Structure 1
Amino acid sequence: MDFYANTVRRMAVERYPARHLTQRIMRARRFIDRHYHQPIDLAAIAHQACLSQHHFIRCFRQHYGRTPHQYLRDVRMAHARQLMKEGWTVTSTCMAVGYKSPNSFSLLFRQVTGQAPSNYRKAIFDRQARSRAWTIILSPTAQGSAPCESD
C-alpha cells in the first residue's frame, strides 16, 4: 500500500477504534467457524484478532456474551448434533468436530444438551422411524389402492 492508503487506514483506526476492534473480533470468530474441527488454542484465535489473549477474551465476551472457548464449544456441539442427525456414529462425530477423546466429548455433550450423545442419537432415529411409520400408514397407496371417491 502507498503512503496515502496507510495514512487513511491509521486515521480511521484512531477515529473509529471500536469499529476496528469489532472487525478484529469478527475476524477471530470467523476463524473459529472455519477451523472448529481442528485443534485450536486461544493463542491462535487471539492472533487472528491481533490482540493479547487476555484483552481478546474480554473483548470477545463483550461482543458475543461468552468467551471464545464457550463459543468454540457451542459451534462444535451444533455441528455434532447435525452430524448425528445425518447418521454419524458418536466416535466419528467426536473426531469430526475436533475432539480427540470420546469420553470428554460425551461429558461436554451431556453438559450442553442434557443427554448423552448415544441417547440423543437414539432419540433422533426413534423419531425418524415413527415419522416413516406414520407416512406409510397415512399414504393412500400404501394399501395398494387409490383413494376412495364418493359417488
Structure 2
Amino acid sequence: MSFYQEKLKQVKESVYKNQDQIDAVIAIKGYIDSYYETNLNLDLLSEKQFISKYHLLRLFKKYYGLTPRQYLINKRIEKSKEHLINGSTVTESCFAVGFESPGSFSTLFKTKTGKTPTQFRKEQLSRSK
C-alpha cells in the first residue's frame, strides 16, 4: 500500500467511523418519510433499527438538527400544505397526514407557517384562480 493510500484509509476511518450509526439514522428518516401519516413514536422507531430510543434521539438530533418528533411534525405540516393546495378541507388534511386533533393541527400549522390552515387554503385557492 502506498503512502497516499494509507493516508486516505486513515482519513476515511476517522471521518466515517460511525457508518452504522449514520445508516441507522438515515433509515429512520426514510421510515418517517414513508409512514408520516401513521402513529409513530420513539419506541417504534427505535425498534425498527434495534437501537436505544435515547441513543436514536441523540443521533437523529446530531445528524439532522431536529428530534425525530420535530422532523415528523415538519413533514406532516409540509404534506398538509399539499393537501390544502389540492382542495382538501382543513379537517381532511389534518387526518390525512396523521394528526389526531384539528385543534392541535391548526395550532402547530400556525406556529410553523405563521398562518392558520384556513388562511393558507384561502390564499392558495385565490392564487389558483
**Short-chain TM bin:** 0.7 to 0.9
Q: Once superposed, what is the RMSD of the aligned Cα atoms?
A: 1.0
Structure 1: which 4+ aligned runs deviate by more than 4 Å? none
CA distance in 2 between partners of 1:39 and 1:120 (Å): 25
Instruction: Return the offset for 1:47.
Output: 1.5
Matching residue of 1:47: 47
Matching residue of 2:64: 64
Paired residue secondary structure (1:87): coil
TM-score by length of 1: 0.73
Paired residue secondary structure (2:38): coil
Contact 1:37 1:97 in 2 (8 A): yes
Q: Which runs of 5+ in 1 are unaligned?
A: 1-15, 130-151
CA distance in 2 between partners of 1:42 and 1:124 (Å): 34
TM-score by length of 2: 0.85
CA distance in 2 between partners of 1:58 and 1:45 (Å): 13
Matching residue of 1:111: 111
CA distance in 1 between partners of 2:17 and 2:45 (Å): 20
Identity of aligned residues (%): 33
CA distance in 2 between partners of 1:68 and 1:100 (Å): 18
Instruction: Return the offset for 1:64.
Output: 0.5
Q: Which runs of 5+ in 2 are unaligned?
A: 1-15
CA distance in 2 between partners of 1:97 and 1:118 (Å): 16
Contact 1:80 1:97 in 2 (8 A): yes
Instruction: Return the offset for 1:48.
Output: 1.8
**Equivalent pairs, count:** 114
**Which structure: larger Rg?**
1
Matching residue of 1:137: none
Instruction: Return the offset for 1:53.
Output: 1.1
Paired residue secondary structure (1:32): helix
Question: Comparing both chains, which one has the higher relative contact order based on Cα–Cα distances under 8 Å and sequence gaps of 6 or more?
Answer: 2
Letter in 2 for 1:37: E
